[in-house]
Every structure is written in C-alpha cells, then in structure tokens.
Amino acid sequence: MKYEAIIFDMDGTIVATNDIWHRVDLEILKKRSIPFTPELKRELETRLLGLAMYESCIILKELTGIIEDTQILIREKQQLADALYHEGVSYMPGFEDFHQKLKKLNIPTAIATNATEKTLQKTDKKLNLKKHFGEHLYSIAHVNNVCKPDPAIYLFAAQQLSADPKKCLVFEDSAHGVAAAKAAGMTCIGINSAGNKKYTERADMIIDHFHELDVNKILF
C-alpha cells in the first residue's frame, strides 16, 4: 500500500459548507451596506477560501473597510454560521462511499481542519463525523491555532495516526490547504468543489467528485 494514512480537510472537502460561509460574508456586507461588486466577490473567493476564522476576518476587514474589532467580527460570523447550520449541512457527494472503502482496507484516516473547535464539534454533532474518524478530529486548536498554509495541523494529524508524513495522502479544496499538505511533505489530491481548479493547481491530482476515484489505483 502506498500510504500509511489518509487525512481530510473538512469544509468544502468532505462537508458541503462553502455556501454557508459565502452566505455569512454576504450577510455581513449587507448589514453594513457594503456593495458586493464582482471585483469584491472575486477577491473574497480567492483570498478567504480555506482560511481560519481569525485570518478570514482580518482579510474581510482589509477588503471592505469594516471598522469593528476583529473579535467582534469573529463572534458575528460564528453566530450567523451557527444559525445556518441549523438549516442543515451534508457530506460532499461520494465521500461516505469512498471512506467506507478505505475502512474496509483498515487504512487510518483523520480530519485536519482550519475550522475552530466549536465549528468542528458542531459539524460532528450534525453529521456524526466520529462514525468515520473516531476521535481523530483535529482543529487548529490542537496546534495553538496555527492555521494552514502552515503544515502544523497536518503534521500533528500524521503523528496522532502514527504515520510518516511522506506516506500520507491529503484531500484539500483550497490553495492554503494544498500548500500546507505539500509543506508537510504529503501527497495531495485537490477536490474542485469551488469550481475553480486554480485553487488546487499545486495538488498532485485534481478531481471534481469523490465518485471519480478508484481506491485500488490510488492506494496500490
């Protein structure tokens, strides 16, 4: 087998939440009467995808001129996201079938996400992430809030799985995440959930859906 472990990003990779965070940002702009121009839309999509909460709020302020304290903006984003989570979140198409095949091969898996611990726990509560990953659910809280593109969260996950980073396979949907995986010395498959392959152009392989994957070709 080529890999000792497989590590997944969460938002936009195995869980369909990109639309939630997009709606949160739109609501924040609408509340402040900030025009959502095509240029701003492009900048937000390019720079915020895959970022941790604190960093995304810093950039949101930079791009829009929002003057509120960053911690206030973080709380507002979290509250808006919490409300949208009640409408429901779902796994990305094909993920559960793909993971079931990995489980039959007894290959260890984990989640390593830039999300806050609160968001990770909320997602677990909604979708029962532990059903697939057991206790191997890791947020940036596990690495002193050091976020991707730093490789810390991926190196930590590999350590918890007792796997050599060079023998780990990562699934990611953002440029920041791909950069983190590559910096960790891992092989990375980019999933084009955002509909723009530029975000995952540094990945070793790019797919649109998990249905495209042949487990045997990937692992053996």
Question: Looking at 29, 53, 85, which one is the last position of a domain?
Answer: 85
- Pair (72, 125) in one structural domain: no
Per-residue pLDDT of the chain (220 residues; tens, 9 = 90+): 999 999 999 999 999 987 888 888 889 999 999 998 888 888 888 888 878 888 889 999 999 999 999 999 999 988 888 888 777 789 999 999 999 999 999 999 999 999 989 889 999 999 999 999 999 999 999 999 999 999 999 999 999 999 999 999 999 999 999 999 999 999 999 999 988 899 999 999 999 999 999 999 999 9
Q: What token pair was written down for 151?
A: 């490789």
Q: Do 209 and 130 fall within a single domain?
A: yes
Of 61, 85, 109, at which residue does a domain stop? 85
As a dihedral over the C-alpha atoms of residue 129, residue 203, residue 81, residue 26, rounded to 10 degrees, the angle is -160
Q: What's the pLDDT score for residue 199?
A: 92
Q: What is the structure's pLDDT at 15?
A: 95
> Residue 36 contacts by C-beta under 8 Å, 6 or more apart in sequence?
26, 29, 30
Counting beta carbons within 10 angstroms of the beta carbon of residue 31, is it exposed (0 to 12), middle (13 to 18) or buried (19 or more)? Answer: exposed
> Which CATH number does the domain housing residue 32 bear?
1.10.150
pLDDT of residue 140: 94
Torsion sign over Cα 36, 38, 39, 41:
positive
Range of the domain at 202: 5-16+89-219
Q: pTM, whole model, 2 decimals?
A: 0.88
Count of helices and strands (H, E) across the chain: 10, 6
Among 57, 85, 113, where does a domain finish? 85
- Assess contact for 206 and 189: CB atoms under 8 A: yes
**In a shared domain, residues 95 and 189:** yes
Say what the pLDDT of residue 42 is: 84
Instruction: Indicate the number of domains in the chain.
Output: 2
Do residues 68 and 105 share a domain?
no
